[in-house]
Amino acid sequence: MTDDLRGSRRVLPEVATSGDAADVYFMRAAEILEREGLDPLVVMEVFSRASGVLAGIDEAKSLLATVLAGAPPEEAVVEALADGDTFSPKEVVLRIRARYRRFGLHETAILGMIAQATGWATAARQCVEAAAPQPVISFGARHVHPTVSDVLDYAAIVGGCVGASTPAGARLAGISPTGTMPHSLVLIFGDTVRAAEAFDRHIGPDVPRIVLVDTFKDETEESLRVAEALGDRLYGVRLDTPVERGRVTPDLVQEVRVRLDQAGYGHVRIIVSGGLDPERIGHFKQVAAPVDSFAVGGYIASAAPIDFTGDIKEIDGRPIAKRGRLPGITENDRLRPVDLEALRGS
């Protein structure tokens, strides 16, 4: 992920920095090691058996910068890939050289940060690749707990989405949130055109005028009514036909496009949403439906976490590993040094 895409740093949740989110056996291990007076200098490597688009690693780096604060520089060495990097099966994405008791308690949080966000980013990339060159927007926040909706939207941007619906997630990615009006606004006004005109009156001109056109009338009819009302100010219409009415189809998109063009509204873009996944997006693309962009929610938000494992590979300079793994450091020249001091100062 390029530096110009990064926005503000996410504030680490206290549950992560305190260790309360750790698997309890890490707490018990820490207690035992403290009472035994043991705190070796270890090397831990993190990898997955899957491939994907890495996300959450930058947040994990921030956690490590916090818990390794005050350690001698030679006992706080972190190397890693970056958010947005692709990785292959068993490739090491993070390497930590530090005294075990400084970071061991936080293994659960580190792996969880990476696993969940990487699952979301990888699902987003699947949608983006299916839609290319048309852009994809993340609408998945309603499918997750609000405490992680910012991470979801950020991960979707990492995966290639051009926009995200929540201000918090967009802020993490250094962009503006994407979205215009909900069905509730149209229902309250009782008419799509009245809702569109109110939106146009009160919302700043920097926000594109994209109007939902599936609430009351036929989508084609509503698209033409809104286009006549807003004219050149109308950026696009969003088709979100529910499953009860057959969802959005390529034929519907084609009809809306043709009728808008015939009426002189060729500038109006068509955005499609509602239950989209790579397969459905691929169908729209295969039949050349004139979709200008896709909005995807549930498929990205419901993506399974990608499992990561943390292995100790060296203790006080001695190569070691559990059975089935190779002792010693795994070479990966893609890993880059992490400036922990800079992260603490940001």
Could you tell me the domains of the chain? 3-118+304-345 (3.20.140.10), 121-301 (3.20.20.70)
Q: Please report the pLDDT score of residue 5 as a whole number.
A: 42
Give the span between the Cα atoms of 140 and 313, in whole angstroms.
38
Is the separation of the CB atoms in 185 and 155 below 8 Å? no
Is the separation of the CB atoms in 317 and 97 below 8 Å? no
Q: Please report the pLDDT score of residue 8 as a whole number.
A: 56
Give the span between the Cα atoms of 214 and 4, in whole angstroms.
37
- What string of DSSP letters covers 281-325? HHHHHHTT---SEEEE-HHHHTPPPPPEEEEEEEETTEE---TTS
Give the span between the Cα atoms of 253 and 247, in whole angstroms.
11
Report the phi/psi class of residue 333: left, alpha or beta, with left for phi > 0 and alpha for psi in -120 to 50: alpha
Q: In what helix (H) or strand (E) does residue 196 lie, and over which residues does it extend?
A: helix 192-202
Q: Please report the pLDDT score of residue 234 as a whole number.
A: 97
Is the separation of the CB atoms in 83 and 22 below 8 Å? no
Give the span between the Cα atoms of 144 and 34, in whole angstroms.
38
Q: Please report the pLDDT score of residue 15 as a whole number.
A: 76
Give the span between the Cα atoms of 263 and 268, in whole angstroms.
11
Give the span between the Cα atoms of 72 and 99, in whole angstroms.
10
Q: Please report the pLDDT score of residue 16 as a whole number.
A: 76
Q: Please report the pLDDT score of residue 1 as a whole number.
A: 44
Q: In the numeric block, which tokens belong to residue 54?
A: 């890495």
Give the span between the Cα atoms of 272 and 240, in whole angstroms.
6
Q: Please report the pLDDT score of residue 3 as a whole number.
A: 39
Q: Please report the pLDDT score of residue 345 as a whole number.
A: 78
* pLDDT, averaged in runs of 10, over the chain (346 residues): 50 77 89 95 97 96 94 95 97 98 95 97 98 95 92 96 91 87 95 97 94 94 97 96 92 97 97 96 97 96 96 96 92 95 81
